[in-house]
Amino acid sequence: MKKDKVDTFMEQWKEELPELGTESMAVIGRLNRVAKHIEKRLGKNFAQYNLNSGEFDVLASLRRSGKDYRLKPTDLYQSLMITSGAMTNRIDTLEKKELVSRTHDDSDRRTIYVQLTKKGFDLITEAVITHTETENSIFKDLSKKETVLFNDLLKKLLFSLGEEPQEYDTPMPKQ
């Protein structure tokens, strides 16, 4: 296999501190480098649609919620693990772009939903297709088996770092 920059760094550490176990350092270094490449590629996709990653996440959450393509702001910010203030800013921006609207529940006017507009629905549907094509292209040099294994190992690592397992019978609310 070809050498990369991380291999060079690990060789340098081996010379300087031979007793230093650098396997984890190499993995984390590569994860960081991969994350930067992914961010750059996906950022170009988002820009095509005049979105940033946070706006994309809100629209994608609404799109995958099905039915009326609407969710309560609380459900959105909890699922995206951001503050309510950050969610309000995202919703305000998307509302100005006419991609979402705030609507009231017919049976309880106190309940507010964020709902995709027709323009938002069309845009996010196209953007998700482009997004998925880009994600698939990132893994083009891995076999399906390698991709599944990599995904399983990352999930195991996330759980070991404190990520909470998602119960299969408690999906994000659909409205």
**What pLDDT digit, counting tens, does each position of 51-104 carry?**
999 999 999 999 999 889 999 999 898 888 888 899 999 999 999 999 999 998
- Mean pLDDT across 125-132: 97
- Give the CA angle between residues 74, 171, 136 to the nearest 5°: 100
pLDDT band, very low/low/confident/very high, at 169 (cuts 50, 70, 90): very low
Predicted pLDDT of residue 167 = 63
Predicted pLDDT of residue 173 = 54
3-state SS track over the chain: CCCCHHHHHHHHHHHHCCCCCCHHHHHHHHHHHHHHHHHHHHHHHHHHCCCCHHHHHHHHHHHHCCCCCEECHHHHHHHCCCCHHHHHHHHHHHHHCCCEEEEECCCCCCCEEEEECHHHHHHHHHHHHHHHHHHHHHCCCCCHHHHHHHHHHHHHHHHHCCCCCCCCCCCCCCC
Higher pLDDT, 37 or 164: 37
Whether residue 80 contacts residue 64, with contact meaning beta carbons closer than 8 Å, is answered with no
**What pLDDT digit, counting tens, does each position of 7-57 carry?**
999 999 999 998 988 899 999 999 999 999 999 999 999 999 999 999 999
User: Is 80 exceeded by the pLDDT of residue 159?
Assistant: yes
Predicted pLDDT of residue 170 = 42
User: Is 60 exceeded by the pLDDT of residue 172?
Assistant: no
User: Is 70 exceeded by the pLDDT of residue 174?
Assistant: no
- 100/95 Cα distance (integer angstroms): 5
φ and ψ of 7, to 5 deg: -55, -45
Predicted pLDDT of residue 171 = 47
Higher pLDDT, 34 or 165: 34
Predicted pLDDT of residue 70 = 93
93 burial (CB, 10 Å; 0-12 / 13-18 / 19+) is: middle
Whether residue 116 contacts residue 124, with contact meaning beta carbons closer than 8 Å, is answered with yes
User: Is 90 exceeded by the pLDDT of residue 123?
Assistant: yes
Whether residue 87 contacts residue 73, with contact meaning beta carbons closer than 8 Å, is answered with yes
pTM of the model: 0.82
Predicted pLDDT of residue 83 = 86
